Structure 1
Amino acid sequence: MDLTLLYRGPLASCDYDCPYCPFAKRRDSRAQLDADRAALERFTAWVAAQDGDRLSVLFTPWGEGLVRSWYRRALVALSRMPHVARVAIQTNLSCRTGWLDDADPATLALWCTYHPGQTPYERFLARCRDLAARGVRFSVGVVGLPAHLPHARRLRADLPDHVYLWVNAAEGHTYTDAEAAVWTGIDPLFGYSRTPHRSAGLPCRTGESVVSVDGEGTVRRCHFVPDVLGNLYDGSYRAALRPRTCPLAVCDCHIGYVHLASLPLYDTFAGGVLERIPTPAALTHPPRAPGAAR
């Protein structure tokens, strides 16, 4: 079986204080951190035992995972498992990168976000250049707030040409066509993020070949649909895997709508769906974003 797992454990603490994030500077207690570590170690052990399946894993923690040693260990271990096709994590890239020496760069990838005002620009850029020198697959992005525009332009000019710079539409922000054109000049695929995608009744790969898993092993089709499919650790989720349509009116998050079969994004991001790396051709001739709610 080929299966993609979107894992989100109890971790909810972050070392940044972004004004647009509800988890900014949130602190987990020692007990909460211990619970998160135990949950992640259990999940990693489960993946290791599934050597008859082909698995891909994306960690989408509410907080920042890579400042925690157990996430770094998990990524290294998973990257070395022959039945794991890809393991990636969303990160602010605030941690040092030496731990990557032990990982398999053919399997591990990073989805990095630059948060202006939270870290010196040159430090973030140096980390990106270090990743490139190590041969690590990674994308870089920013939130499309007006104040972030000069930072995004600077990043695009300074990053290696092969590194994709994505732009996430800011939550609750409406973009005029002129504003959207400016952001599209930086990220040719910004149109997919600009407005939510109508998804009700449309086929989606979640619940069939993609599932969401929490720290207790509870399996749902995705992070945004609360219905439970079963549990990872007792295997009850397997019987529930089947083709499904989306029950929600719209999907407005990349980790959700990238799996909509009605969108061409599996071709656009072929080989890089989890780490948000599109094919070079997709950036040269980006597909039009169909079905976006207006």
Structure 2
Amino acid sequence: MSDRTALTILYRGPLASCDYDCPYCPFAKRRDSREQLRADRAALARFTAWVLEQTDHRISVLFTPWGEGLVRSWYRDAIVQLSQASTVDRVAIQTNMSCRLDWLADCDLDTAAFWVTYHPGQVSYERFLGRCVELSRRGVRFSVGIVGVPEHLEPARRLRADLPESVYLWVNAAEGHSYSDEEAAPWSAVDPLFSHSRLPHRSAGLPCRTGDTVVSVLGDGTVRRCHFVPEPLGNLYDGSFRAALRPRACPLAQCDCHIGYVHLEPVGLYDVFAGGILERIPHADHWGGTRPDTAIREPATSP
């Protein structure tokens, strides 16, 4: 590793079930069997224990489950434990935040943070905005995002108007969808950084932090440089991955996912998201979020 004192881990266990039914997601309303859930819980417990045992370097963790993790108690418990660990710099998760929120009182909110996605059609606007209100009241670090399909534009505009400027609202380009300049303009008005998501990034041969200071870990401990390069570097639990950590170039032609290209060095997003890489919170200087004291407007009651 270039910096032997720090390691960022993107963890993805066997969990593949979700409580939402988004038409743009292949894992919508998928159910895990009891055996699969037990396996996921055991894998996460093993991973959490490994992180807590590390003393030779500081760890940051982003949970990127295929399904929804926070509706499962073991993900909530893991975030609480890791947030309280002195050697963990950041623990974050990609989530629809449909879970209860009282457990956040046990988190160290200097360490825990959340990448929250709004899915219109799966939850009422009032309920989702209410979650954001509560997160803000609790002092939780979070970003909010939405997938850039045409029917989401008006909900995105409404959400941007109701969120304070201090809460970054990101837009993910819809998979398989191309945007003309005219189509991209309203999304860029919602998310000034949409240009980074709009088109895939050419990555072949370019330096990337993955495989050096950033790795992907599966439930069985298999370590890969990132989620998108299947070649294993070794295993987390026998330590065999350590010898493989080094600076390296990307072997793929392009990278079109934020959790991948944010680590691609020429893109320069470590400066843009300084202090908020894992939770997707940019530094205020790079997007204009300059009013952290602005309150979230309560959602209007539907007639």
Find the partner of 2:182 among 175, 178, 182: 178
Q: Which runs of 4+ in 1 moved over 2 A?
A: none
Provide the C-alpha distance between the structure 2 equivalents of 1:128 and 1:91, rounded to a whole number of angstroms. Answer: 13
Letter in 1 for 2:72: R
Provide the C-alpha distance between the structure 2 equivalents of 1:284 and 1:147, rounded to a whole number of angstroms. Answer: 26
The answer to whether structure 1 residue 5 and structure 2 residue 9 are counterparts is yes
Letter in 2 for 1:4: T
Provide the C-alpha distance between the structure 2 equivalents of 1:237 and 1:102, rounded to a whole number of angstroms. Answer: 33
The corresponding residue for 1:149 is 153
Provide the C-alpha distance between the structure 2 equivalents of 1:87 and 1:284, rounded to a whole number of angstroms. Answer: 25
Find the partner of 1:91 among 88, 95, 99: 95
The corresponding residue for 1:127 is 131
Provide the C-alpha distance between the structure 2 equivalents of 1:151 and 1:284, rounded to a whole number of angstroms. Answer: 21
Provide the C-alpha distance between the structure 2 equivalents of 1:128 and 1:7, rounded to a whole number of angstroms. Answer: 25
Q: Deviations over 1:53-106 (max 9, x none)?
A: 100000000000000000000000000001100000000011111010000000
Tell me which of the two structures has the higher relative contact order, counting C-alpha pairs closer than 8 angstroms and 6 or more residues apart.
Answer: 2
Find the partner of 2:165 among 155, 161, 169: 161
Deviation at 1:284, TM superposition (A): 3.3
Q: Deviations over 1:238-261 (max 9, x none)?
A: 000000000000000000000001
Deviation at 1:161, TM superposition (A): 1.8
Find the partner of 1:66 among 60, 63, 70: 70
Q: How well do the aligned residues superpose, as a CA RMSD in angstroms?
A: 0.8
Provide the C-alpha distance between the structure 2 equivalents of 1:161 and 1:62, rounded to a whole number of angstroms. Answer: 30
Letter in 2 for 1:138: F
Q: 5+ residue gaps in structure 2?
A: 290-303
Q: How many residues align?
A: 285
Alignment check: 8 A CA contact 1:4 1:210 kept: yes
The corresponding residue for 2:115 is 111
Q: 5+ residue gaps in structure 1?
A: 286-294
Provide the C-alpha distance between the structure 2 equivalents of 1:43 and 1:177, rounded to a whole number of angstroms. Answer: 44
Deviation at 1:201, TM superposition (A): 0.2
Provide the C-alpha distance between the structure 1 equivalents of 2:11 and 2:37, rounded to a whole number of angstroms. Answer: 16
The corresponding residue for 2:297 is none
Letter in 1 for 2:48: T
Counterpart secondary structure, 1:201: coil
Find the partner of 1:244 among 227, 248, 251: 248
Which residues of 2 match residues 194-213 of structure 1 at below 5 A? 194-213=198-217
Please give the TM-score of this superposition, normalised by the length of structure 2.
0.93
Identity %: 73
Provide the C-alpha distance between the structure 1 equivalents of 2:183 and 2:103, rounded to a whole number of angstroms. Answer: 40
Provide the C-alpha distance between the structure 1 equivalents of 2:250 and 2:268, rounded to a whole number of angstroms. Answer: 16
Letter in 1 for 2:165: D
Deviation at 1:214, TM superposition (A): 0.2
Alignment check: 8 A CA contact 1:89 1:109 kept: yes
Alignment check: 8 A CA contact 1:52 1:83 kept: no
Counterpart secondary structure, 2:265: coil
Deviation at 1:179, TM superposition (A): 1.1
The corresponding residue for 1:272 is 276
Q: Deviations over 1:147-178 (max 9, x none)?
A: 00000000001112200000000011111101
Provide the C-alpha distance between the structure 2 equivalents of 1:78 and 1:168, rounded to a whole number of angstroms. Answer: 28
The corresponding residue for 2:42 is 38
Find the partner of 1:18 among 6, 13, 22: 22
Find the partner of 2:193 among 184, 189, 192: 189
Counterpart secondary structure, 1:284: coil
Counterpart secondary structure, 1:96: coil
Counterpart secondary structure, 1:71: helix
Please give the TM-score of this superposition, normalised by the length of structure 1.
0.96
Provide the C-alpha distance between the structure 1 equivalents of 2:267 and 2:139, rounded to a whole number of angstroms. Answer: 30
Deviation at 1:264, TM superposition (A): 1.1
Letter in 2 for 1:220: R
Alignment check: 8 A CA contact 1:13 1:24 kept: yes
Counterpart secondary structure, 1:38: helix
The corresponding residue for 1:57 is 61
The corresponding residue for 1:288 is none
Deviation at 1:52, TM superposition (A): 2.5
Letter in 2 for 1:245: A
Q: Deviations over 1:183-227 (max 9, x none)?
A: 000000000000100000000000000000000000000000001
Provide the C-alpha distance between the structure 2 equivalents of 1:160 and 1:133, rounded to a whole number of angstroms. Answer: 12
Deviation at 1:34, TM superposition (A): 0.1
